[in-house]
Homo-oligomer: A and B are copies of this chain.
Amino acid sequence: MSLLVVGTVAFDAIETPFGKTDKIIGGAATYASLSASYFASQVNLVGVVGDDFPQSMIQEFNNHRVRTEGLQILEGQKSFFWSGRYHTDMNSRDTLDTQLNVLANFDPIIPESYQGCEFLMLGNLMPKIQRQVIERLKKRPKLIVMDTMNFWMETAMDDLLENIAMVDVLTINDAEARQLTNEYSLVKAAKKILAMGPRYLVIKKGEHGALLFHENQVFFAPALPLEDVFDPTGAGDTFAGGFIGYLAKSRDISFSSMKRAIIYGSAMASFCVEKFGTERIINLSSEELNERIQEFIDLVQFDITLV
């Protein structure tokens, strides 16, 4: 049940209608690995930071059973930095600043002790780097989940399409699914994407939930209606981490299990957005998680018996 998570580990500075942060810890792999740690007994992290990255956060990872042997710390360099401002609707945002820093020449080295992992989460990264990770694993994992974003569709589409053909589950948002396929209908877009290779497709719709497509089946999980979405940063990565973390724990990759994984991912994401950054997902109790899952059950459960 070993799980490998690859992606950015970074600093973010965020502005929302509710407030503003200085540099806080962010990054796709940060959110995904912390989220997965609530399910998987061990998470192996691969990423890169500069020597400005706080040791206390590395300790936090380890406290969550996230192994950091594969987290490269480049002396004399700075960590990846992103800054953004969310609009009132929280579904759109402007990027204010992006400083690649250590990410510019990221060489994703896989420690020997990580080899043989059964589950691989490829967080959003340049497609060539995601590809390198797949190639450097001596044994193909049982399940590869890949996230990506519109930027790579615009700048590295050929590389991205090669990756899409190699993975089992692709997770993208609704706008990206439309961009990738030139189809407005998500059902038509999903058919085209499944024809590109992956057996499963997750389309994330933010506050409108998530869709899971597989062959001719479709499953929908709502987002939990919340009084306030405080900061959506990392919600998609937290979702993906909960999703693959649950699958790694259960070792069951049937459609039924994937549906449960989507619910666990959605529950983790619903916590993530309640506070800035990783604050809310760093100290969750199993009681809180169970209560949240029950809220999801109550939210969609109905009893109709067809005759």
Contacts and interface: CB of A to CB of B under 8 A. Distances in A.
Interface stretch (A129-137, A256-264, A276-284): A256-264
A205 interface: yes
Contacts of A186: 225
A88 interface: yes
Interface stretch (A6-14, A75-83, A293-301): A293-301
Nearest to A258: B302
A226 interface: yes
Contacts of A288: none
A145 interface: no
Interface in A146-185: 184-185
B187 A227 contact: yes
A275 to B, nearest CB: 16
Interface residues of A, number: 39
A220 B293 contact: no
A209 B300 CA distance: 11
Interface string A180-200: 000011111000000000000
Contact of A303 (B218, B227, B260): B260
A222 B225 contact: no
Contacts of A104: none
A302 B298 CA distance: 12
Nearest to A246: B304
A219 B226 CA distance: 13
Contact of A222 (B89, B217, B220, B262): B220
A260 B217 contact: no
Contacts of A290: 306
Contact of A227 (B188, B225, B263): B188
A187 B225 contact: yes
Contacts of A139: none
Given A220-B222, A222-B209, A184 B89 contact: yes
6 contacts: A187-B226, A205-B208, A208-B208, A219-B299, A220-B299, A256-B303
Interface of A: 88-89, 184-188, 205, 208-209, 211, 217-222, 225-229, 256, 259-260, 262-263, 290, 293-294, 297-304, 306
Given A185-B228, A185-B229, A221-B302, 6 more contacts: A185-B227, A209-B222, A222-B222, A263-B302, A290-B306, A293-B304
